[in-house]
Amino acid sequence: MRLIILSLFALLLLVQYPLWLGKGGWLRVWDLDGQVTAAKRKNDELRARNAKLNSEVMDLKEGTGAIEERARYELGMIKEGEVFVQILENNGQPLNISSAAPPPNKK
């Protein structure tokens, strides 16, 4: 009787091994599920980044507003006829950079 119980227990272990530790076992599925979740999260981040870059490219292709904005803030350029105004803090550092409309033409 003891031999039958031991042999049944051994068979049970042999059947359970592929289920838990085999090629398609639960541990492997759990690991792959974590990898899929991480890949989906990364893909969502990359989609958001691509959408932002795509909108910026379209804005640069179709309109001059984005080009003017970059020229103003990154290169410090102003349009012809505009007046450049720079306000300094008490310590002499620039507070804000802005451009004002040109003065009205006097006739």
Distances (CA, A) of 66 to 47, 52, 73, 77: 22, 13, 11, 13
pTM equals 0.47
- CB-based contacts of 95: which residues, under 8 Å, 6+ apart? 86, 87, 88, 89
Can you give the pLDDT at residue 94?
Answer: 65
Residues of the chain with pLDDT under 70: 94-107
Can you give the pLDDT at residue 99?
Answer: 46
Can you give the pLDDT at residue 96?
Answer: 57
Can you give the pLDDT at residue 95?
Answer: 64
